[in-house]
Chain A
């Protein structure tokens, strides 16, 4: 991945978040306490929030350039986003959720629907309403839905929070599979610095409204 946040500043009421960093990891993790602005950062990268200043570039393409008022809308960014509450579409079953963002033409190297179903072991869930899925199953459908849309980058907001240890042990290998088999880089935020260090090959922190680059990490 090559994600550049160039003097990005986001303001929400009295809260402000600043980021000036270059991320190149295959799984980059950003840790920080609750309320530090982790979700705000992901939403800004996804194009759901407009920064008051700065530029965001993904693989050398300018996504947001505040000085020139250029902002590519979220539906043209090819950035998958899995929020903490997963935001599965409640009126669609698992298969319809997965296919929601399926592109008519797949970009080279992107995983197709069948690959995603296989990698995330979703075969048995496809015809079930998402409201009747367990927490771990919902997590897998949400990851799958984002992957099927052919993202250049996958943003995950606290993907392991609230899961019991057994479920965590099931989801973590899936993240590595996404990285290795689907070849989609992941930007991952969590309040748990230990978890980030264990999973990611590059880490950063958010402290006092500022993203601080931490460099490469062991793990992954």
Chain B
């Protein structure tokens, strides 16, 4: 393994961690909202959140490219207002990983919130707890297992993301190249041995993340 490989590994893990951190508050908020009984716009939001899971990743990447490109609604605004470029930068990598992994976090956390007995939240309110306190003291701690497992899934998904990333971040060595993109490039160049090394590294990181989460789980006593 070369210094370049090490840079790619650190970059990939860093981007996956950053994207997971970015989606965590949004994902938890969305999951909580979607776990509430029917409200106007719920099914629309539900569809929007699930979309990256059912669309081909390159199609999601294309939509992001249209939105965040220089002529896109959001990309154009960001560049004009703040001078921030997204496409073909590390920001595009974070964006692609975030969008692609968000549904996994939301699905898992939503199920966890739905499993919290609503009577506990109701009784907490009668004890003087406002909506925020009910959320942070009751709903969130009781849903934490599902949220942790969703976070892990999202992180693992981000580690291996390919299609959307290559569409909006390209495959620029040293700038936007992640493990999956480097692996793909090695195969394209006929360097199968190198590709196998990268594949093995990907597997080790994923297994490491899973066992770390498992260890954290056991330290929590395996339950609530």
For residue A58, give the distance in angstroms from its CB to the closest CB of chain B: 13
Per-residue CB contact flags for chain B residues 125-141 toward chain A (1 = under 8 Å, else 0) read 11111100000011001
B203 contacts which chain A residues (CB < 8 A)? none
Judge if B224 is at the interface, Cβ distance under 8 Å: yes
Instruction: Determine whether the beta carbon of A101 is less than 8 Å from that of B119.
Output: no
Interface size, chain A (Cβ < 8 Å) = 25
A87-B117, A91-B142 known; A48 vs B122 contact (CB < 8 Å)? yes
Q: A100-B137, A145-B127, A149-B128 are in contact. Are A74 and B142 (CB under 8 A)?
A: no
A87 near B120 (CB under 8 angstroms)?
A: yes
- Range of interface residues on chain B? 10 to 19
Spell out B's residues near A (CB within 8 Å). Answer: 117, 119-120, 122-130, 137-138, 141-142, 224
Can you spell out 21 A-B residue pairs with CB atoms less than 8 angstroms apart? A43-B122, A46-B122, A48-B125, A48-B126, A73-B125, A74-B125, A75-B130, A77-B126, A80-B127, A83-B119, A85-B119, A87-B117, A87-B119, A89-B120, A89-B138, A91-B142, A91-B224, A100-B124, A100-B129, A145-B127, A149-B126
* B137 neighbours in A (Cβ, 8 Å): 100
The number of inter-chain residue pairs (CB within 8 angstroms) is 62
In contact, B127 and A90 (Cβ under 8 angstroms): no
Residues in chain A near residue B142, CB distance under 8 A:
90-91
Closest Cβ–Cβ distance, residue A47 to chain B (whole Å)? 8
Cβ contacts under 8 Å, A80 to chain B: 126-127
Q: Find out whether the CB atom of B128 lies under 8 angstroms from the CB atom of A87.
A: no
Q: How far is the CB of A42 from chain B (nearest CB, A)?
A: 10
Produce 1/0 per residue, A59-96, CB < 8 A to B. 00000000000000111111111010101011100000
Interface residue from B122, B127, B224 paired with A101 (Cβ < 8 Å): B127
Cα A48 to Cα B127 with chains together (Å): 12
Taking the complex as formed, is A162 at the interface, i.e. its CB lies under 8 A from any CB of chain B?
Answer: no
Nearest CB of chain B from residue A130's CB, rounded to whole Å: 11
Bound form: Cα–Cα A211–B130 in Å: 30
Q: Does A103 touch B at the CB level, under 8 Å?
A: yes
Cα of A89 to Cα of B119 in the assembled complex, Å: 10
Min distance, Cβ A141 to any Cβ of chain B, angstroms: 12
Query: B128 to chain A: which residues have CB within 8 Å?
Result: 75-76, 78, 101, 103, 149
Tell me which residues across on chain A come within 8 A of B120, comparing CB atoms: 87, 89-90
Question: Which of chain A's residues have a CB closer than 8 A to the CB of B127?
Answer: 75, 80, 100-101, 145-146, 149
In the complex, what distance in Å separates the CA atom of A48 from the CA atom of B129? 13
